[in-house]
Structure 1
Amino acid sequence: MTPGRDTPEQAPAVGNPPGPAGTPDAAETPEREHTPGPGATSEPENTSGEQLTLAGLSPAPEPRAARSGGSAGTREAGPRPRGAALGSEGVAAENPVARVLLEAYVPHLDRVFDYRVSAALHEQAVVGSKVSVIFSGRKMSGWVVDRVAHTDVPGERLLPIRRVLSPLPVAAPEIVDLAEAVAQRCAGTAADVLRVAIAPRVARVDKEFAAGDATPAPVEEPSNATEEQPSPGQQDREGEDAVAPSPEVWEHYEHGPEFIAAVASGRPVRGVVEVLPSAEDHDWARLTANAMATAYAAGRGAVGVVADHKALERLETALHELVGEDAVVRLHAGDGPTPRYRGFLELALGRKRLAVGTRSAAYAPVQDLALVCCHDDGDVNFVEQRAPYQHTRDVLLLRAQQQNLAALFTGYAVSPEAQRLVSTGWAVRLAPDRTELRRCSPRIEATSDSYNTARDPLAARARLPHEAFRVARAALEKGPVLVQVARKGYAPVLACQRCRTPARCRACDGPLALSSANAVPVCTWCGRQAHEWSCAECGFTRVRLSSVGAGRTAEELGRAFPQVPVISSSEHTVRARVGSAPALVVATPGAEPVAEGGYAAALLLDGNQMLARPWLRAEEQTLRRWFNAAALVRSAEHGGTVVVTADQDRAVSALVRWDPAGHSERELHERHELGLPPAVRTAALTGPRGALAATLRDLQLPERVRVVGPAPVENTPGNGADVAENETGETSDGTLDGLARAGSAETARPGRAGAGSGEDRPYRALLFFGFGIAPKITAALRAEKARASALREHAPVNVRCDVADLL
């Protein structure tokens, strides 16, 4: 994209007016994050682990300071700032030109603009500060990414900065460069990435830090002291009951001692760990916390990123045991804007050097960073729900490459993307010792094997076979039993009791569901109740349960075990922990609580249903969920047993053998042969047919790019084609890119009243391209988005890179 020189007379108007951050009152209220419009999608995606050191991958992005787009205009438009008249106070004596990245979420404004820094604002408008400027007659906010002495823009055309909203360096140069790298990889804009990377501003907290009430102590250089001398990390733990990190936990992993020694010495090593499955002796949170504490003890910083709140609690607790509570910053949107922003500033100003959190923590501004960690990178919750839909794993890989950091990826399962890192040599596999693995693993039974099939021929047709019932009854004498089910709710899918036709809503044709045994069927799309429902095919008025959810399962188990408590953990009632007393714990994938001392047994139900989903990643995701649940069970020597009820499949075989890496390696090999991700990169273009055709024509794609489509998007939220279930059993549409949400639910269903047709219907094209040409393709997509946004030749076309969940 070639930067231009936009003036108020020439610059296209910004597509969306600036939010509260661009108003004079912004400093008095918490800033709100930008809400994506109809052109943004929110479905999960699974991106490939692209690495800059591998062949064909993007070079390091050009610093923002070198991509100036010129002056924002020739004269001021709008009210002048309070105080002296413009220009009367003079310009800053040193580096009077500020290069500002606007907080604008339109592609053609994805560049920096030069502004004049007055003498009065010289001390406040530092690099990384947030400012208010005039652009094209509008008040807008942005970040100062550089201060320079000269500009190519004539002085009379250079507008001044209106005011400094925050004098604190919230946009560190390395974070801005990381945002640019992520935007390049995902064909997005740096501003879209920064709205995730930088915590929403809270004016009161800003004033506290700016006034010096929370001035941090200077950060010491990494210590090279001997063991007898306290390190900076240890000095910060006065009064804490902290435990020094021990390298012994790494002795059970191949190359483990060498890896943790390299982390302690500050070397940029990268590892993929298959965590041992033991509720008694081993835990992924303790392993990750040990690595982070090792970097901290050496006087360096570390970042740990997890997928959800439940995992965050485990990692935070494990880290507190090693370094104390005062050394760790927690970054999670659920904690509220004030604690989140306060922790963000403590990291940015160097007060603390350990950060844990969910997706946005990958951008934590930790000073003197040495290590980035990620647990269970195959979790769909790691995909950002807003443009440019980046995956946390890719953000951490780019950051590790740019800043020369060590990287650690842990998990009970191994994703194909993580396996690709090992196969290409970017990371080393830290496999568990086989003897220790056999000792720690629970006993795993498959009800579909020849032995159980001969004993119970009807086991294949039963949702809860006799063997699973027997194991649960015996295990309840020793402790809690985990029951994993595929779907949330009571009865998520209904059908006509007579002809088995799926029950659908008369208003929008969405699927009907039951929330309890005596409830009225409700549409899962529009929420309308179907009081007098009748089958559209045969006219029958009674329904049957086509699919059983966690609520119905808990009800049935309660009748089967009347003296045993039944605990449900799914959807909005996710439990973090349960006790060691006998109980039946019914949970959806990802919502399984941690049992004190481990579960006595686990029943993995609905395996065939999960494996049968029309999704490229159905098998790997199902196996990942099985491994995560089985890892919560006691080891076989302590009586732990896992029963899986799915038919014989290679995923079942991998679970019985406890071989996540072998299954992942085979998956990656097959996808290489078929040209499917993560062996290749992909891009999904969605929009009206005419706009999509024009975009593909203007891109002038090389022959090596395989184009599938355009084809009409026939699905709507909930029909199962493009709907992925997240880790708590909830469904998330997004493949319609907001078009389904913006319109009625029946827009994309042909043959229905009000259905879209012709140019109004959304179409999609899929691009498949190798890593060798990936930088050129994503750059072309990014440039085409900026050109189309500026000229407004056609309707917007949404671009999402590496969306394997559509396949």
Structure 2
Amino acid sequence: MDGPQQPDLGLELAPPARARRRPRRAEGGVAVAAELPVARVCVDLSPPHLDRVFEYLVPADASDDAVPGARVKVRFAGQDVDGWVLERVAEPEHEGRLLPLRRVVSGEPVLSPAVLRLARAVADRSAGTLADVLRLAVPPRHARVEAEPAQEPAPPPPDPGAQAWAAYRGGPAFCQHVLAGGAPRAVWTALPGDDATGWTAAVAQAVAACVLGGRGALVVVPDARDVARVCAALERVGLPAGVRGAGPVARLVADDGAATRYRAFLAALRGSARVVVGTRASAFAPVADLGLVVCWDDGDPLHAEPRSPYPHVREVLALRSDLERAALLVGGHTRTVEAQQLVERGWAHEVAADRAVVRARTPRVRALTSVELAREGAAAAARLPSPAWRAVRDGLTRGPVLVQVPRAGYVPVVACGRCRAAARCGACHGPLGLDRADGVPTCRWCGRTAGDWRCDECGGAQLRSVRVGSERTAEELGRAFPGATVRVSGARAAGGVLAEVPGTPALVVATPGAEPVAPGGYAAAVLLDAATATAGAWLGAESQALRRWLAAAALVRPAPDGGEVLVVGDGAPRPTQALVRWDAAGLASRELAERAELHLPPTARVVALTGTRDAVQAVVDRVVASLAEPAAVVPVEVLGPVALTGDEDVLERPVRTLLRAPLAAGRSLTRAVAASAAVRSARREGGTVRVHVDPVDLL
């Protein structure tokens, strides 16, 4: 050949890739589907090393039903397990032999592509597995409900306007942006109000704007009482819940039962319901063409999932807003530190009222501290001091009065009447309490009675109350105000949690979160035991106390109508002053700045590893080694291990180690923790390890 030659580089050319043989038959001679014969399946197994896709052949007779999102049964490790079909492909990636699907449980595609992407993102954010998240996202199947015919979509509602948003800076603009198909993100500090101006009306108007714009909406609230209130507000704007999933609004609450919950899930999946209102698990509801997600009262502990991988509704909806380009509204009467960070980072905009509007819409708040009550003399030590007694007496002439008590029960904690030492159970050393005035002391941990109790310190047998619960408070108020009707609302009360009380004069004693709504609002509210409400060394204790107080105060009439709130006791100064000023955003901003200085969540990513000492240490060592590699270079701090209990056996004592990294490196940290947990699972290392990203009980 003429001309310069290409020099021989001495490289051995790889043989041409062998074309993969298209599978025709599975084991046992089962005919395989002619098109897309391979199903990629997520197997419902928890071990982290199995958090990947497995491939199975699709039998020809199951091809029509084995659609992406369908439930299937597959053979895995010698047993039949559940799974979801993620996709169908023409050729497998696995070089070996594939097993066929055992059977298709249902041809209903219950796992939509959008929910699958969300579940994967939540699993990665929480260092968990896809299967664990899908158990939270997809409710159990109910065959009879699944056989019911799909309902026709309801027509859009009339335009209700945005009157409830007129009091907020940026409120009407948010609704207009949602109506136009945009995806604004807002953190909303709600004002007290009635059915026409309160938070339920504002949420309903925002949802109606989204539906009028041709998209679906999702509203997640803490409990079933809030679900009922939101559904009632939606009905007032022309979006009724309907009967048996026939309306434009689906109510998705676990307490409604398996059949009702699955019917609501299918209504959203099939598109007959454009709006879903529900509690924690509804954050994964398969709403078609999602345009708005709402998280109400994101500081409520009910929004935190207690099962692995422990996702929080606020984080799930924020991820969903990004993935599906939907508007996000995080609202509440208070402002959480996490929501404040979204505002200060510029990721979301603040929607709040001016101070003049706040003063006109909120009740007058007074703090009855020991300094305020100094002139009362010995009467200042009373649990219901004179100013509070007068406020209750005057309030009963105008309507119902709310009394919030931080603890349930009768006398939940008792002590020795002679030396004041805490009364403890002789079997497990748990605290003793009384369930009624003539009751026998009972352990709050193991339930054993202590009828022959004697103090270990002085030998005394008399008991005195240390903490007074809602039942005892109701009893005392009944004696202090004879003739007044006394109602008790709480999970442990005889009547349970009351959703609503009449607007007639009565005393309503409630624990935090169980305050019923009164038509027209309460005439007054007394928040007892402020010191107990703000006690606690855990992260966010002050913000949580303010959230509970504001939730009760928001049910009281505004100051121009005579509404008054009194907080009794020497509570922590910062939440007390924030309540008096009605300035939750100020407290959240100050606490966020302090957490930034201390490198605490949400300004840093912290992963808590809890379990046996050797198992936790093995996971930590692998994480540190992987993040120290030149390709990673992620600064990570190891805090601990710290023993969690006082057990005598030091080797078996559970410990907790914290791994902390800057927020920008949070994804690398959680990925390394998940990889280390997968190695531990594959090697079947002994002991136990629980992984929790940004736990609430950090301190």
1:270 to 173, 182, 185: 185
Moved more, 695-704 or 541-550: 695-704
Aligned residues: 660
Structure-2 residue corresponding to 1:168: 108
Instruction: Kindly indicate whether residue 117 of structure 2 is the aligned counterpart of residue 177 of structure 1.
Output: yes
Distance in 1 between residues matched to 2:357 and 2:102, nearest whole Å: 64
Render the CA deviation track for 1:319-377: whole Å, top value 9, x for unaligned: 12221222110111100000001111111111111001000110000101100001110
Render the CA deviation track for 1:746-783: whole Å, top value 9, x for unaligned: xxx34xxxx4x132110111222211111111001101
Distance in 1 between residues matched to 2:654 and 2:519, nearest whole Å: 50
Structure-1 residue corresponding to 2:205: 290
Instruction: Kindly indicate whether residue 248 of structure 2 is the aligned counterpart of residue 324 of structure 1.
Output: no
1:190 to 106, 110, 130: 130
Q: Taking structure 1 as reference, are residues 637 and 685 closer, same or farther at Cα in structure 2, changes over 3 Å only?
A: same
Distance in 2 between residues matched to 1:571 and 1:102, nearest whole Å: 38
Structure-2 residue corresponding to 1:36: none
Distance in 2 between residues matched to 1:473 and 1:426, nearest whole Å: 48
- The one-letter code of the counterpart of 1:772 is A
- The answer to whether the 8 A contact 1:685-1:798 is kept is yes
Match of 1:263, SS state, is helix
Structure-2 residue corresponding to 1:636: 559
Deviation at 1:252, TM superposition (A): 0.9
Structure-1 residue corresponding to 2:437: 517
Instruction: Kindly indicate whether residue 637 of structure 2 is the aligned counterpart of residue 706 of structure 1.
Output: yes
Distance in 1 between residues matched to 2:329 and 2:284, nearest whole Å: 16
Percent identical pairs in the alignment equals: 48
- The one-letter code of the counterpart of 2:486 is V
Instruction: Kindly indicate whether residue 91 of structure 2 is the aligned counterpart of residue 150 of structure 1.
Output: yes
Match of 2:537, SS state, is coil
Match of 1:758, SS state, is coil
Deviation at 1:683, TM superposition (A): 1.2
- The answer to whether the 8 A contact 1:646-1:652 is kept is no
Structure-1 residue corresponding to 2:22: none
Render the CA deviation track for 1:509-559: whole Å, top value 9, x for unaligned: 111111111111111111111121111222222211111010111110010
2:520 to 590, 593, 597: 597
Larger Rg: 1 or 2? 2
Distance in 2 between residues matched to 1:454 and 1:494, nearest whole Å: 27
1:784 to 676, 682, 686: 676
Match of 1:804, SS state, is coil
Q: Taking structure 1 as reference, are residues 106 and 484 closer, same or farther at Cα in structure 2, changes over 3 Å only?
A: same
2:685 to 793, 796, 799: 793
Instruction: Kindly indicate whether residue 233 of structure 2 is the aligned counterpart of residue 309 of structure 1.
Output: no
Render the CA deviation track for 1:213-236: whole Å, top value 9, x for unaligned: 41344x7xxxxxxxxxxx9424xx
Match of 1:291, SS state, is helix
1:771 to 663, 668, 672: 663
Distance in 1 between residues matched to 2:313 and 2:543, nearest whole Å: 19
Deviation at 1:650, TM superposition (A): 2.0
Instruction: Kindly indicate whether residue 333 of structure 2 is the aligned counterpart of residue 412 of structure 1.
Output: yes
- The answer to whether the 8 A contact 1:276-1:283 is kept is yes
Structure-2 residue corresponding to 1:109: 50
Match of 1:390, SS state, is coil
Matches within 5 A, 1:146-545: 146-154=87-95, 157-206=97-146, 208=147, 213-217=148-152, 232-234=155-157, 244-279=159-194, 282-322=197-237, 323-325=239-241, 326-448=247-369, 452-458=372-378, 461-545=381-465
Q: Taking structure 1 as reference, are residues 164 and 427 closer, same or farther at Cα in structure 2, changes over 3 Å only?
A: same
Distance in 1 between residues matched to 2:215 and 2:420, nearest whole Å: 62
Instruction: Kindly indicate whether residue 609 of structure 2 is the aligned counterpart of residue 685 of structure 1.
Output: yes
Q: Taking structure 1 as reference, are residues 788 and 500 closer, same or farther at Cα in structure 2, changes over 3 Å only?
A: same
Moved more, 426-435 or 410-419: 426-435
- The one-letter code of the counterpart of 2:165 is W
- The answer to whether the 8 A contact 2:195-2:201 is kept is no
Structure-2 residue corresponding to 1:87: 29
Unaligned runs of 5+ in 1: 1-74, 77-84, 220-230, 235-242, 715-748
- The answer to whether the 8 A contact 2:231-2:240 is kept is no
Deviation at 1:707, TM superposition (A): 2.0
Match of 1:806, SS state, is coil
Instruction: Kindly indicate whether residue 533 of structure 2 is the aligned counterpart of residue 610 of structure 1.
Output: yes
Distance in 2 between residues matched to 1:519 and 1:806, nearest whole Å: 37
- The one-letter code of the counterpart of 1:496 is C
Match of 2:156, SS state, is helix
Q: Taking structure 1 as reference, are residues 262 and 600 closer, same or farther at Cα in structure 2, changes over 3 Å only?
A: same
Q: Taking structure 1 as reference, are residues 265 and 501 closer, same or farther at Cα in structure 2, changes over 3 Å only?
A: same
- The one-letter code of the counterpart of 2:513 is G
- The answer to whether the 8 A contact 1:232-1:299 is kept is no
Match of 1:773, SS state, is helix
Matches within 5 A, 1:13-52: none
2:594 to 670, 694, 716: 670
- The answer to whether the 8 A contact 2:489-2:508 is kept is yes
Match of 1:131, SS state, is strand
- The answer to whether the 8 A contact 1:399-1:405 is kept is yes
Q: Taking structure 1 as reference, are residues 459 and 388 closer, same or farther at Cα in structure 2, changes over 3 Å only?
A: farther
- The answer to whether the 8 A contact 2:374-2:380 is kept is no
Distance in 2 between residues matched to 1:454 and 1:686, nearest whole Å: 47
- The answer to whether the 8 A contact 2:370-2:569 is kept is no
Distance in 2 between residues matched to 1:312 and 1:476, nearest whole Å: 30
Matches within 5 A, 1:57-96: 86-88=28-30, 90-96=31-37
Q: Taking structure 1 as reference, are residues 553 and 404 closer, same or farther at Cα in structure 2, changes over 3 Å only?
A: same
Distance in 2 between residues matched to 1:271 and 1:439, nearest whole Å: 23
Structure-1 residue corresponding to 2:509: 586
- The one-letter code of the counterpart of 1:296 is V
Distance in 2 between residues matched to 1:781 and 1:474, nearest whole Å: 59
Deviation at 1:183, TM superposition (A): 0.7
Match of 1:233, SS state, is coil
- The answer to whether the 8 A contact 1:87-1:118 is kept is no
- The answer to whether the 8 A contact 1:682-1:804 is kept is no
Q: TM-score of the superposition, structure 1-length normalised?
A: 0.80
Render the CA deviation track for 1:630-653: whole Å, top value 9, x for unaligned: 000001111100001133712111
Render the CA deviation track for 1:476-497: whole Å, top value 9, x for unaligned: 0000000011101111111111
Distance in 1 between residues matched to 2:375 and 2:421, nearest whole Å: 35
Unaligned runs of 5+ in 2: 1-24, 242-246, 629-633
Match of 2:166, SS state, is helix
Deviation at 1:454, TM superposition (A): 5.0
Distance in 2 between residues matched to 1:697 and 1:386, nearest whole Å: 26
Match of 2:384, SS state, is coil
Render the CA deviation track for 1:262-305: whole Å, top value 9, x for unaligned: 01011010111111123475311111111111111222100000
- The one-letter code of the counterpart of 2:240 is G
Deviation at 1:459, TM superposition (A): 6.2
What CA RMSD, in Å, does the superposition of the two structures yield over aligned residues? 1.9
Match of 2:311, SS state, is coil
Match of 2:408, SS state, is coil
Match of 1:578, SS state, is coil
Render the CA deviation track for 1:556-581: whole Å, top value 9, x for unaligned: 00100011011101124111100111
- The one-letter code of the counterpart of 2:174 is F
Match of 2:640, SS state, is strand
Distance in 2 between residues matched to 1:487 and 1:636, nearest whole Å: 28
- The one-letter code of the counterpart of 2:100 is P
Distance in 1 between residues matched to 2:328 and 2:379, nearest whole Å: 45
Q: Taking structure 1 as reference, are residues 655 and 281 closer, same or farther at Cα in structure 2, changes over 3 Å only?
A: farther
Match of 1:303, SS state, is strand
Structure-2 residue corresponding to 1:141: 82
- The answer to whether the 8 A contact 2:193-2:199 is kept is no
